[in-house]
Structure 1
Amino acid sequence: MTSSVQQRGNIFLIVVMCLLMLAICAPFSSHDWQRAVQISVGLCAVVYGLCLPRAERCVDRSTALGVSLIGGAGLVSALLAHQPLWALTELALLISCCATAVAFSRARRNGDESLDRVLVLFVLLLCTVKSIQYLHAGVLAFTSGEAIVNTDLLLSGFSNKRFYGQFQTFTLPLLALPLLVSNVARPARGAVFALLCVWWLIAIGGGTRGTWLGMGAAGCVLMFLGPQGRRWLGWQLAALACGLVLYWLVFTVLAGYLGIVISNGAVDRLTTSLSGRGPIWWQAWSMIIERPWLGFGPMHFADIANDIAAHPHQAILQWASEWGVPSTLCVIALVAWAGWSTLGVLRERALSLAPVDLLRLCLFASLIGALTQAQVDGVIVMPVSQLWLALVVGWLMGLHVWRAPSVAPVPALYRVWMAASVVAVGLLVFVAIRDVPRLKERSEHYMGLSNGHLQPRFWVQGVIALEMQ
């Protein structure tokens, strides 16, 4: 591997990490800003791919064929949709996410284990900054003299606390990695554990039940993945217990002592209600029944206006209603196949203490948590979640151990893939240039027509129904 190829990968990762930092930690961050950052990352990924020699395989040929079939069916569905341009935009977004995942995979495969340490340090930095922001907001709220503290206002950088929770679902599993690696100094280990406790405090205070569900599912899976999986679970449970104690001390004991009433506390979220998901799940199901083969078109759940959301908060229902049942079954098969392949590597190396194997374990936990949360939340919709999904999947691809010798991709498929990536990113840039100058006007217009509740999808005002624009 030439040094120039490694340097290009390092430059790509540095640029992307800077963009992610701006997307998540900037005080002015919003859904629309994060979408613009996502498009920028996709552009960087495509440019990086064009700067490299022809790739060795990232996936096997069966997977490549499956992805091609999904893309082809999506293209047909988009062209037949009510609003083809928006449908093609959603298809372009999917291709951009795949290109980003491939770029992460190639950067890691062209590099070495030092990139793994950079990734973990980056996650630690992100979570530290967000924790400081949360604690600072908490201090200001408790010392402001106000009689009521709304815990939702302590969360910054995201348009909705559920989006914050999705970010935590991706990062909570990764924060435990330094606690599993044997050569980490005790003071550093203590600092990381303290950060993990605070991160759990925020996850509890945020009240995102999807995060709790996702982490529970990840814990149930890792419990059966050998001693390192159980160590991971032990650290997470210990941090969860500390987070619960911290939450009780701050939002019950201290708040009671100061005479402060806590609004939107975690206790309020201890329910089994669907929080309005029932009607939108039923809408998605009705769309599936009406058009089972190709769906209504990508993004076209948002073309049928409702008073709740522009997506059904359920990944399978969303894909089936917009892309069709055959495409959904193909996606499920690919996810199951990829998960089973990764699970096989994890089981083979269950006793390994090598940092790369421990990172693979944590990334797999992150993926399990996100896929679980996607069944009750918009993980496959929100820009930061899509970026982190691409990062986690791409890094796992880069770490994957192939059982068969590596072979070059089929030349024709490779050329089609690169052309599709360029066209997709070009379309996304066009949509951004077209829409960004009038995003505020568009949102205000929708707010005047609706009940004042924005429904994020591509932009924060995500409803594309013609009568609502």
Structure 2
Amino acid sequence: MSKNFRVLAVSGQTIISICTVLAFFFALFIDFTSSPFGGYADQRFALVTLCGSLIVALTSMLFFQPPTNLKSAILHLVPSSLLCSAFLLLAAPFHSKLYAWAEPGMYICFFFSAILIGAWLSWTDASIKFAKFLSAAAAVFCVTYGLASVNVYLFAISDGVTNLVDYLPWGFVNIRYWNHIATWCLPLLPLAALIEPLNRHRLWQMLLLIGAAIWWWMLFLSAGRGSFLAIVFGVIVVVVVMGRKSFPWVNILLAHFLVGVLLWLLLSVALPSLMAGGVNVSSVKTDASGRLPLFIEAWRMSIQNFPLGMGPQSWLTHEILTDGYLNSKKFGHPHNMYLMWAAEYGWLLIACLGLVVAQAMRHFFKARLRLASARDSERLLMLTAITASVSSALFHAGGSAVFMAPASMLVGLFVLAAFWGLVIPGRDDGIYLIHRSSRRHIRGFIALTLALGLSTTWLLWMKDIWSYYEAMRIDEEHYFETVGEGILPRFWFHGNFPRQSAQ
């Protein structure tokens, strides 16, 4: 391996690691900043900035130091490239609509940067290192957030607050956005207790146990049944496909859960019972929470212009098709990412998404077989935890805006990247980045030209996003004065813009 290659590989890995830390910070601690935009908008700006920057940086590096087997390497990017192209092409007929490119551009950058980061990690033999870093970073941020949450809880209790819904989880404009983070992160925390060398430190194990238990306690407080069911689904998936190899991870996850139950009994049952007024928390609902009319409306939209969809953000602008949705509570999205994409971009896009899922499953089973043959137990545990996290999020996306809320997408970007890094064939399969002495100047010129082209495209897209933000803020005052239907978060927190002409 050449010195130039090592420098390039380390540079890419450093950029990815820094972006991961920034993503967790923006997702969990944005309230500590004093930005004039507000937390939700800050997270959205952070998401599109990180995705765009990583695509420009890693694509330029890829062309400057291409893999030895470039053709085979590019093939790994084809399904995701088709998905991104589908967002672009299916949005093109609606280019005259207001801010028609904001959301398609976000999805293109999100999905392509996820697989590009994963491929880069695999080709530079850094996927194991990044999986460890990701789980450790998730643990540090989650434990810190959890301990701060207990502090918030104790202050609220001492002040005589009986309704904790507005206090925990804190730092989110909507509890469900924290639930999305819990879906991604709770399966990662047991991995942080298993990886070398952290598994040898008892203090780390204790802090991790306490922090994870607090997150489970807050999940009970928030009545986040979507997250709970999604994590159960993720556990079932990895137990079925990984078998006994997943048991060490399952055992620690179960320990975190049980201590979380004990913490709930202490803080939410025993302590409140000593207070005269008691403490009110969210209750777990057993119905569909008004989602069924939304699902039916999205389904009707998806077949209205089959298989091409009704256009980006048409959920906000279309004429309502069903009486059920007409008479039900309105939201900025149908609480189902797959039906929303089918409604707005068509079933053709869902077919492209299916190709990506099929590719991921194919790579996963090959990686599992390869690691099992090599008896690489640590990497099998990494694959178990990250697969559980991804599976949980994909399940949760069927009933919530997991791939719409910016905090969730910030964390999910790097979890998805870690998954791709672990399953995409790398050095052992003859696909890795290497310095070539010939045509170095030509490659450098191509890389520079590509970087300039991608940067220009990204800046133009960011300009459109900024114009969308300014128009939304201007409309916000008019909306509250004349429409008054409450906040419907979507791309922005005031997400009901643009909207139906009748409004």
Tell me how far 1:182 sits from its aligned partner.
Answer: 6.5
Q: 1:84 to 1:108 in 2, by over 3 A?
A: same
| Candidates 313, 320, 323, aligned match of 2:335 | 313
* Counterpart in the other structure of 1:7: 10
Unaligned 5+ runs, structure 2: 321-325, 434-442
The match for 1:78 is: 91
User: What are the residue-to-residue correspondences of 1:133-148 with 2, within 5 Å?
Assistant: 133-146=148-161, 148=162
- Aligned twin of 1:274: 288
Q: Cα offset for 1:58?
A: 11
Q: What's the RMSD between the two structures over aligned residues?
A: 3.1
Deviates more, 1:177-186 or 1:216-225: 177-186
Matching residue of 2:406: 383
Q: Measure, in 2, the Cα distance between the counterparts of 1:115 and 1:69.
A: 26
In structure 1, the residue matched to 2:315 is: 301
Partner of 1:101: 114
Tell me, in whole angstroms, the C-alpha distance in 2 between the residues paired with 1:68 and 1:108.
18
Question: Quick check: 1:248 aligned with 2:265?
Answer: yes
Structure 2 CA distance for aligned equivalents of residues 65 and 13 of structure 1: 22
* 1:190 Cα offset (Å): 2.7
Residue aligning to 2:499: 465
Moved more, 346-355 or 154-163: 346-355
Pairs aligned (count): 461
Secondary structure of 2:134's aligned partner: helix
Q: Separation in 2 of the partners of 1:417 and 1:209?
A: 45
Question: Which of these residues, 215, 219, 224, is aligned with residue 203 of structure 1?
Answer: 219
Cα drift, residue 312 of structure 1: 1.1
2: distance between equivalents of 1:72 and 1:10?
27
Tell me, yes or no, if the aligned pair for 2:147 and 2:211 is still in contact at 8 Å. Answer: no
Q: In structure 2, what residue type is equivalent to 1:454? A: I
Query: Structure 1: how far apart are the matches of 2:90 and 2:350?
Result: 13
Q: Secondary structure at the match of 1:173?
A: coil
TM-aligned CA deviation for residue 65 of structure 1: 4.0
Residue 349 of structure 2 corresponds to residue 327 of structure 1: yes
Aligned residue for 2:256?
A: 239
Shift of 1:114: 3.8
Please give the per-residue CA displacement for 1:332-352, whole angstroms capped at 9, x wherever unaligned: 232133124213422553584
User: Helix, strand or coil for the counterpart of 2:182?
Assistant: helix
**1:173-212 correspondence to structure 2 within 5 Å:** 173-181=187-195, 183=197, 184-185=199-200, 186-212=202-228
SS of 2:487's equivalent in the other structure is coil
Q: Is the 8 A contact 1:42 1:425 kept in 2?
A: no
1:89 and 2:102 correspond: yes
Q: Give the aligned partner of residue 34 of structure 1.
A: 43
- Secondary structure of the structure 1 residue equivalent to 2:279: strand
Q: TM-score, normalization: structure 1? A: 0.88
Change (3 A) 1:400 1:290: same
Q: Tell me the amino acid that sits aligned with residue 133 of structure 2.
A: V
Match of 1:48 in 2: 57
Q: Aligned pair 1:455/2:459, yes or no? A: no
CA contact (8 A) 2:234 2:392 kept: yes
CA pair 400-23 structure 1, distance change in 2 beyond 3 A = same
Which residue does the alignment assign to 1:445? 478
Q: Which amino acid aligns with 1:431?
A: D
Distance in structure 1 (CA, Å) of the matches to 2:72 and 2:182: 28
Q: Verify: 1:398 aligned to 2:413, yes or no.
A: no
Structure 1 counterpart SS, 2:501: helix
Q: Does 181-190 or 458-467 show the bigger shift? A: 181-190
Q: TM-score, normalised by structure 2?
A: 0.82
Deviation at 1:130, TM superposition (A): 1.4
Q: Secondary structure at the match of 2:186?
A: helix
Are 2:178 and 1:164 aligned? yes
Instruction: List runs of 5+ in structure 1 lacking aligned partners.
Output: none
